[in-house]
Amino acid sequence: MLKRWRYILTLGLAVLLIIGALWAGGQIPGKRTQPTQAGVPTATSDEINLLARLIAAEAMGEPYEGQVAVGAVVLNRVRSPLFPPTISGVIYEPWAFESVHNGLIWQVTDLTTATSAAIDALNGWDPTYGALFFWNPAKPVSPWVWTRTIITQIGNHIFAR
The contact set with another protein (CB under 8 A) reads 3-4, 6-7, 10-11, 13-14, 17-18, 21, 24-25, 41, 43, 63-65, 68, 79, 81-85, 89, 92-95, 113, 116-117, 119-120, 123-131, 142, 144, 149-154, 161
DSSP-assigned states of every residue in 145-161:
GGGSPEEEEETTEEEE-
| Shortest spacing between CB 53 and another protein, in angstroms | 18
* Residue 105 or 119 with smaller CB distance to another protein: 119
| Shortest spacing between CB 84 and another protein, in angstroms | 5
* Residue 127 or 135 with smaller CB distance to another protein: 127
Nearest 5°: CA angle at 153, between 51 and 97? 35
DSSP-assigned states of every residue in 56-83:
HHHSTTS-HHHHHHHHHHHHHHHTSTTS
Q: With contact defined as beta carbons under 8 Å apart, do 32 and 106 qualify?
A: yes
| Shortest spacing between CB 11 and another protein, in angstroms | 6
* Residue 153 β-bridge partners: 158
